[in-house]
Chains A and B, each alone.
Chain A
Amino acid sequence: MIDNLDYPVQLIQPNGARVCRPEFDRLITDIGPDELLSLYRDLVVSRRIDTEAVALQRQGEIGLWAPMLGQEAAQVGSARALAPDDFAFTSYREHAVAYCRGVPPELLTTMWRGISHSGWDPEQFNVTNPAIVVGSQGLHATGYALGAHLDGAEIATIAYFGDGATSQGDIAEAMGFAASFRVGVVFFCQNNQWAISEPVSLQSRTPISHRAIGYGIPAIRVDGNDVLAVLAVTRSALNRAREGSGPTFIEAITCRMGPHTTSDDPSRYRADTDMSEWRSRDPLERMRLFLGRRDLLGENELSTIAAAADDVAAGLRRATIALADPPPSALFDHVYAEAHPLIDVEREEHRAYLRSMEGASS
């Protein structure tokens, strides 16, 4: 098993130079020029979705957004490694994962606009809706993987969470249980250095991947801003999961370049100068330089990709603004799977109340 705890796996350096690592290169032999361009395009488009969503929040079209700026490679690289039947559990920041899984961009903002608590049916895209409670999805992924195992399905389950989540009891339990039952789940931790204002050093005194070892889960650290390395490492872990070798823990080292959410002000706890190091490791810039070195990114390609990003952003904007408000009766829909007398009573009372208000003057 490949495991490299202290030196994160890297296949592309920040300056775009390729690093040869045979044990990982063999996992991406199918990634030719088209695939590389496609990866880059996903990076660009997902960043554009993210920045457009932030703008929409500033314009009052959505109430909140958790920007993933800086984490594109960690999300695109891992999501692109997934097979169609694999299932992904996410936190609230995996917009690029949802996008790569095929969720139409216009469904990405439904929840943030307050229309409903979820934008899509998870089974349709094999990815969950954004989950607000930190860490709960780890156990869900373990359970799902256990179910797949009991079904005899050869799929992998992946759980996305951040460094902060690893302090939650639920994640500890998820790892312990996954190891106990030897289920096919990939724990994908994006260590983006921050949990709102708390630096990762508060959550852990060791590299986070070391925790997994304690549970008997093989772990690997990867440069989360290197989309190729993430792709390779995730493929390896997913293969293990599918073939029945049990869980793997991936710690993708990246950085949350933006605020925790649009309500946050990072200037209160980190200096802009601290970020310059990370800016030099920007995942899109890195890939652009890499493709440039290989003459894969001409004017044509650049403009096509830019147009695609504009297109997606415009579509996202249009669709978000056009989202219809739910009717008041939606309050009472789907509280239970089966009819419930209290809900029926309250639904009717509310209906009668609204009728009584019709035509009332101010």
Chain B
Amino acid sequence: MKEHLIFVGKHAVRMLLLLFCVSAVAFTLVSISPIDPLQANVGQAALGSMSQEQIAKLQAYWGVGEPPVERFFAWAGDFFRGDMGVSLLYRQPVAKVIGVKLHNSLWLMAIAWTLSGLAGFLLGVLAGLREGSILDKIIKGYSLLIASTPAFWLALVLLMIFAVWLKVLPIGLSVPIGVEAAGVTILDRIRHAILPAVTLSITGIANITLHTREKMIEIMESDYVLFARARGESTWNIVKNHALRNVLLPAVTLQFASISEIFGGSVLIEQVFSYPGLGQAAVTAGLGSDVPLLLGITVISAAFVFGGNLIANLLYGVIDPRIRRGGARA
């Protein structure tokens, strides 16, 4: 038990250090940018007609001309105390903006992550079990096709089919237009989330299917499966008793590592569906030079990715007893 705690602790410390580096890298990147936030948000014409004091005031607001190192430590210090600063575009605390957007995105991503994980795993096992069959060829072809398709184009095509032609699903946003917040039902929200969630799931399936399939083929050719066959075990029993556990390990790792992919996909898909989530906020922040918000989103999303990796590392031990013993010592 104690060894287990040390194992967890070591990974957690490493994760925190990595997060700190992520924030430093992100901060460096935004501070070396040649983009002038005043030009991007106020515009050349408006700037020309302003007095010097007004421009100075705006410069102070957007943080132009302060030394970056001092700014970083001020920002990081506040961040550790839980104050992420104030979003310059939304004029609200970053924590609050991220909270609202994350709430919208999170269940979208959670649905897509679960669906694509389960479906991908199932398809991969099926295809691997019957390597070379028509079913395998269809599943493999589908996965390769989806892996080569940009998420945002798939979103556009689905939008065209279901929202423009068939008119069965709404064309965008997370709630109906022109309805008060109190009047929005859960059903409305679900209707608006269907297309984004389905698109995100479809794109997430490909990777895990292909990997599970490869692993499954490898396992079905192994000696212990051959021996099980010789003992007269049925295919179902072989899958249940021998294959699943072995194929689950890489699948779980991959699925937790795919959080970063799902996140990237959601940025694109939210843009297409005008879905007011974290991804859309990141794009808005980037285009509008809202540095505090962009930094906040980067750190939060990196925390999710590292958290996913940490969980994957811990789950290894649960699924595979060999790693449990070895991992604690390592």
Are A and B part of the same complex?
Answer: no
